[in-house]
Amino acid sequence: MKEIRNILILTGAGISAESGIPVFRSETGLWEQHRVEDVATYEGFMRNKPLVHEFYNKMRRNLFNVRPNPAHAALARLAGEWKKGRVSLITQNIDNLHEAAGSENVIHMHGELMRISCESCGAVVDWDKDSSVDTRCPKCGKAAMRPHIVWFGEIPYHMENIDELLRDCDLFISVGTSGVV
């Protein structure tokens, strides 16, 4: 058996559910409260920007009431203690619980609740408060900010980097994801 040097870990909603982050596909999940087309597509954003901003504002506010669980801590510990090579962490989650547990350089392929991005200049800004249609970009000054989230129909972030990590890993671990979109 080949010696394991580089470990790649992919996490999904299941890892954060124990911390109190609602999963999208459960009976009480977020898709039961809103239609996907209304809050998780670019078309929905263009139709009703206030609704979309409020949907993500509510989720962002919830992050202040949750804490990483033992699974987040274990992955951070593994990355910190692994000396034979590299541990890379990719998450489909838009929360910040991996970072709160101590993980560094987390790749958020579906975006991050604690960031917003400018549709005009492309700036990505750390953001821990509510956003709205009136929120102005600190870089270009335009009111063109959107949640820094990959919506249905959009390409996940960091795909070239993810592809390279997949090619270079000796061990791939999937935690809390069905792999279904």
Positions marked catalytic? 110
Phi first, then psi: give them for residue 82, nearest 5 degrees: -70, 120
Dig out the tokens for 148 from the structure. Answer: 């820094």
Which tokens go with 33?
């409260």
Cα separation values, 157 from 20, 109, 127, 151, Å: 25, 5, 18, 11
CB 92 within 8 A of CB 116: no
Dist. CA 155–CA 147, nearest whole Å: 15
What's the angle, vertex CA 149, arms to CA 163 and CA 108, rounded to 5? 40
